[in-house]
Structure 1
Amino acid sequence: MPNTIGLTTSLIPCCTCGAVIAPNPSNQCASCLATVDIASMIRRGPGGGDLVVHRCRQCRKYDQTGDGKRFVHLEAEGAEMMAVLLKRIPALGKNDNHLRRAGVGGLKVVDSSFVWTEPNSMRMRVLLTLRAEVNDVAIQQRVKVEFIIQWRQCPDCTKESRQRTWQAIVQLRQKRDDSTRRGLLILELAIARNAEIRKDILSVQTKRNGFDFYFPTVDKARHFVQYLARAAPMKTRTTQAVVSEDVKNNTANVRTTIVCDMVPLCRDDLIVVQRRAKGVGLLSGRLCLVLKISSAVHLVDASPGRDADMDAICADLHAESYWKGGEDKTYRTLLSSKRLVRFVVLDLERCCDDGRGRHHADNGNRDENEQGQIYHGPKSGTSKYALADVEVARESDFGVNDETFQCVTHLGNLLQIGDIVMGYDITSTVLSSEADDNAFNSTFIMPDVILVRKVKGAVSGVINNVISDESKINLKGKTKAKSKKGEKDDERRAETEEIRGSRRKDGSQQRSGRAFGLGRHRNREFLRNKWKWIKTSLKT
């Protein structure tokens, strides 16, 4: 049988109370280790005083850094508030000599929570669960720590009391001859939707041609100007003025003014581009429409040729090119959106500029599939548009006369027969001196009308009655007995259908010669009969 040697552990007395314990690095029992006063070390503030948190009396912000340079809004009993309070405890720092002399190391916060206090007591209490190593022995204790709230004025309120609230001002201006300020309205809405940009603005003042924005620092003002430049084309210039200076300390109070002049063009404006204009490609010496406003002005030819390319009749006008060209001398606003007139689309024929062939919409032949959107392509860019020959009439002329207009428009992909489209009526407009012959190229021909944009969801009521009168009756489900007036309506409707049938027979001839003015007498005859029917229906 093998020999076994019995192993025994030597015991030692505790150096504090004398209790017999197993040897450990501190030579103390668990009871004596628990008496190590970690709470007094945690509650000890800087210099042995109380733990203090500073708060501004006026704006109610808390001192975040402890040096009085940065004050922020903190939610009561929130996570950010707890982080600020823990930073105020010197014992939780990495280099605390008081803990090192007491033999306490590796102090960590295991858990923390707020203890409710009266809001007017100017006190805040937190309950901390701490874990530390005392002479290489790990112990854990729960300590309640109290903070005293003291008032201290923040830098922003100090400047306000000294009449030095702002250091930079941004002057946003848009100067136009008319009273239209849609460009400023768009920027105002963009600023209202962006809370991140709006938070740095101290105050806003309304001026004659724009706004004045006040900022506490120059960096915040420049960041705001960069945001404005992405929303609208503009030129900026910066000036500085010395308010006061201290020669001994080599310091000065300097206020910066940043002036932002917006390009005085708005969406749907009809402008005259002089022949000497540069930076707009083939649009020099022509009438142009403003399609969109972003960091640049997006232009399109208002009277393009049938065989023109969409990329050639579109151009971007940047702020540098506009101001370099001599402001309103090169790019002059002829008509604004206040002069737009409502037109009704009577006929539509797409130009074959992309090899897809012509698209001809026949009057009175809109089936159910064609009543929806006819375009399902890109929502932006030049590929959104297509050239088309369009025949329109003023909406106010229905039942009065049979005057119609022919034009080439870039809205070929977006229009259908019976749609309402906004445009400029050049024939009934007295043009200013900006539209003289010297401003245009020799190949430019002044159009009768210029179509600008489609009215979404709007269809002419008169056209709709002429085209789909029977379908409306079926949809409503009204079955009324035919009276004498109803019989007359049926007779007029039969005459209209007869006119439509005669027009469908020779529709191919109209399609082949419409671009050169051939076959228009047939369309005129159809329109005259249509107007007669409308006048008769209006009288009855």
Structure 2
Amino acid sequence: YFQPPGTWIQCALESRELLALCLKKIKAPLSKVRLVDAGFVWTEPHSKRLKVKLTIQKEVMNGAILQQVFVVDYVVQSQMCGDCHRVEAKDFWKAVIQVRQKTLHKKTFYYLEQLILKYGMHQNTLRIKEIHDGLDFYYSSKQHAQKMVEFLQCTVPCRYKASQRLISQDIHSNTYNYKSTFSVEIVPVCKDNVVCLSPKPVQSLRNMNQICVCIRVTSAIHLIDPNTLQVADIDGSTFWSHPFNSLCHLRQLEEFIVMECSVVRDIKRTAGAGMISKKHALGEVWVQKTSEMNTDKQYFCRTHLGHLLNPGDLVLGFDLANCNLNDEHVNKMNSDRVPDVVLIKKSYDRTKRQRRRNWKLKELARERENMDTDDERQYQDFLEDLEEDEAIRKNVNIYRDSTIPVESDTDDEGAPRISLAEMLEDLHISQDATGGEGASMMT
């Protein structure tokens, strides 16, 4: 209901708020009498009519008090608010956030989507549009857009630029109508990327090797050195001061078979070395490409996956020895410090993993500009990352998929899985706790 001069309030029928609003409409006549009682008279909810029964008193002469009861009729008229007018005129948004990431993989966007859903940051959006390299969020007010930008800065390493365009102005009342644009750029590094750090941040990271693997991207970039298991976190400000790029994209991953694997128990640490990861084990591995099984060419490397690999296992990695590394930091390094192969993760049968996956995620309702054929494969990669990394999984709401039965572990090949204790029940209003049809709600 409209409350002059420019406020809209939500009131239920026959509520105290609606009664107060009705009494304000007749405030001038009531100033001369004493209001004793007021209440609603029942009317049909769809009649667009409200009836208020009033009891008033007034002193007439010689202390005599006259009391009168009468009914005031109100007519409810439909009216469009200013925001709805702008929607119908296709001029409804006042602020837009353009989130971009210059990478070939959307893992960071899939993770960001789940964070937005978990904390309800999409509730104030007018619409969400997905394009090739990012998302556009449209808002009816600049304040909602600024709140979203602050959320993005807390969840992913990014930077932004703000601009505004004058749409109209009123020189008599000195009012202006602007449309604001926030351009947010996320760091161009995703999970499982191999990066080469510049020499300056390496010194501040306690002489960490320049060739590192990105194990996850949250509010910072989490890196691990596959040669020493040293880990480091790089925030957004540090990255933009000394930027670096990924050496290979995920489409260049190749499959290797483990020929020999031995865990390094005694890790030699230099003075002033950084923190070592306790979740990984350093291993020395001999691997061979599955595409070169008819040859005797093997590669030796150190890896942070020593706790997972055994002879005969399949593992995905990057072949840096036969790759054209077009990077300024790599070109300045000694060739003997660049490994031949960098292993990323153990490989499992994807078909079996999809068939056993008895959980699901929610998605944002958005407009899609075009569907890439590679999107489904990238989404499956993100689901596998959730199964393999508990640190990422704790920030995501995972729902049990009741349509897929829980399989036994008789044919389990060791692939990581999500336990039922970590899943939420995806209940609807028409369902009870068992997932069946619930009882009708009482009014």
Residue in structure 2 matched with residue 117 of structure 1 by the alignment: 44
Residue in structure 2 matched with residue 341 of structure 1 by the alignment: 254
Residue in structure 2 matched with residue 158 of structure 1 by the alignment: 85
Residue in structure 1 matched with residue 286 of structure 2 by the alignment: 391
Deviations 1:68-125 (A, max 9, x none): 42366x8x86xxx84542442439x9x9994995473xx698xx9x967263x32367
Q: 1:301 aligns with which of 225, 237, 240?
A: 225
Structure 1 or 2, whichever has the larger Rg, is 1
1:389–1:408 CA contact under 8 A, matched in 2: yes
Instruction: State the secondary structure of the residue aligned to 2:188.
Output: coil
1:446 aligns with 2:379: no
1:69–1:154 CA contact under 8 A, matched in 2: no
1:280–1:316 CA contact under 8 A, matched in 2: no
Q: CA deviation at 1:230?
A: 2.9
1:434 aligns with 2:323: no
Q: Distance in 1 between matches of 2:188 and 2:170?
A: 43
Deviations 1:138-175 (A, max 9, x none): xxxxx999763211221202334566422222121222
Q: Distance in 2 between matches of 1:83 and 1:187?
A: 42
Q: Residues 92-103 of structure 1: matches in 2 within 5 Å?
A: 98=30, 101-102=33-34
Aligned residues: 338
> Residue 144 and residue 280 in structure 1: after superposition, are their counterparts in 2 closer, same or farther (change >3 A)?
farther
1:423 aligns with 2:317: yes
Q: Distance in 1 between matches of 2:51 and 2:202?
A: 70
Q: Distance in 2 between matches of 1:103 and 1:248?
A: 43
Q: Distance in 2 between matches of 1:215 and 1:241?
A: 15
Residue in structure 1 matched with residue 8 of structure 2 by the alignment: 70
Q: Distance in 2 between matches of 1:267 and 1:258?
A: 25
Q: Distance in 2 between matches of 1:270 and 1:236?
A: 25
Q: Residues 320-331 of structure 1: matches in 2 within 5 Å?
A: 320-325=237-242, 327=243, 331=244
Give the letter for the 2:145 counterpart: A
2:198–2:329 CA contact under 8 A, matched in 1: no
Q: Distance in 2 between matches of 1:279 and 1:131?
A: 83
Instruction: State the secondary structure of the residue aligned to 2:77.
Output: strand
Q: Distance in 2 between matches of 1:103 and 1:87?
A: 13
Q: Distance in 1 between matches of 2:149 and 2:203?
A: 24
Q: Distance in 1 between matches of 2:189 and 2:21?
A: 56
Q: Residues 260-275 of structure 1: matches in 2 within 5 Å?
A: 260-275=184-199
Instruction: State the secondary structure of the residue aligned to 2:346.
Output: strand
Q: Distance in 2 between matches of 1:346 and 1:458?
A: 22
Q: Distance in 2 between matches of 1:97 and 1:125?
A: 17
Instruction: State the secondary structure of the residue aligned to 1:158.
Output: helix
2:209–2:225 CA contact under 8 A, matched in 1: no
Residue in structure 1 matched with residue 231 of structure 2 by the alignment: 314
> Residue 118 and residue 245 in structure 1: after superposition, are their counterparts in 2 closer, same or farther (change >3 A)?
closer
Residue in structure 1 matched with residue 140 of structure 2 by the alignment: 216
Higher relative contact order (CA 8 A, sep 6+): 2
Q: Distance in 2 between matches of 1:295 and 1:86?
A: 49
Q: Distance in 2 between matches of 1:406 and 1:154?
A: 69
More helix by share: 1
2:208–2:225 CA contact under 8 A, matched in 1: no
> Residue 215 and residue 123 in structure 1: after superposition, are their counterparts in 2 closer, same or farther (change >3 A)?
same
1:407–1:447 CA contact under 8 A, matched in 2: yes
Percent of aligned pairs with the same amino acid: 25
5+ unaligned residues in a row in structure 2: which ranges? 57-69, 269-275, 352-409, 412-443
Instruction: State the secondary structure of the residue aligned to 2:308.
Output: coil
Q: CA deviation at 1:425?
A: 2.4
5+ unaligned residues in a row in structure 1: which ranges? 1-53, 55-62, 133-142, 356-380, 460-474, 477-540
Q: Distance in 1 between matches of 2:35 and 2:238?
A: 74
Q: CA deviation at 1:285?
A: 6.0
Instruction: State the secondary structure of the residue aligned to 1:229.
Output: helix
Residue in structure 2 matched with residue 187 of structure 1 by the alignment: 112
- Normalised by the length of structure 1, the TM-score is 0.52
2:247–2:327 CA contact under 8 A, matched in 1: yes
> Residue 403 and residue 163 in structure 1: after superposition, are their counterparts in 2 closer, same or farther (change >3 A)?
closer
Q: Distance in 2 between matches of 1:250 and 1:426?
A: 63
Q: CA deviation at 1:421?
A: 2.2
Q: 2:162 aligns with which of 238, 259, 264?
A: 238
Q: CA deviation at 1:240?
A: 2.5
Q: Distance in 2 between matches of 1:222 and 1:153?
A: 27
Q: Distance in 2 between matches of 1:229 and 1:150?
A: 45
1:203 aligns with 2:127: yes
Q: Distance in 2 between matches of 1:201 and 1:458?
A: 36
Residue in structure 2 matched with residue 148 of structure 1 by the alignment: 75
1:423–1:453 CA contact under 8 A, matched in 2: yes
- Normalised by the length of structure 2, the TM-score is 0.62
Q: CA deviation at 1:390?
A: 2.7
2:202–2:210 CA contact under 8 A, matched in 1: no
Residue in structure 2 matched with residue 229 of structure 1 by the alignment: 153
> Residue 280 and residue 296 in structure 1: after superposition, are their counterparts in 2 closer, same or farther (change >3 A)?
farther
Q: Distance in 1 between matches of 2:334 and 2:113?
A: 38
1:411–1:453 CA contact under 8 A, matched in 2: yes
> Residue 68 and residue 383 in structure 1: after superposition, are their counterparts in 2 closer, same or farther (change >3 A)?
same
Q: Distance in 2 between matches of 1:335 and 1:410?
A: 18
Give the letter for the 1:236 counterpart: Y
Instruction: State the secondary structure of the residue aligned to 1:221.
Output: helix
2:196–2:330 CA contact under 8 A, matched in 1: no
Superposition RMSD in Å: 4.4
Q: Distance in 2 between matches of 1:394 and 1:83?
A: 75
2:156–2:218 CA contact under 8 A, matched in 1: yes
Instruction: State the secondary structure of the residue aligned to 2:143.
Output: helix
Q: Distance in 2 between matches of 1:268 and 1:437?
A: 18
1:419–1:458 CA contact under 8 A, matched in 2: no
Residue in structure 2 matched with residue 503 of structure 1 by the alignment: none
Give the letter for the 2:341 counterpart: V
1:414 aligns with 2:347: no
Residue in structure 1 matched with residue 392 of structure 2 by the alignment: none
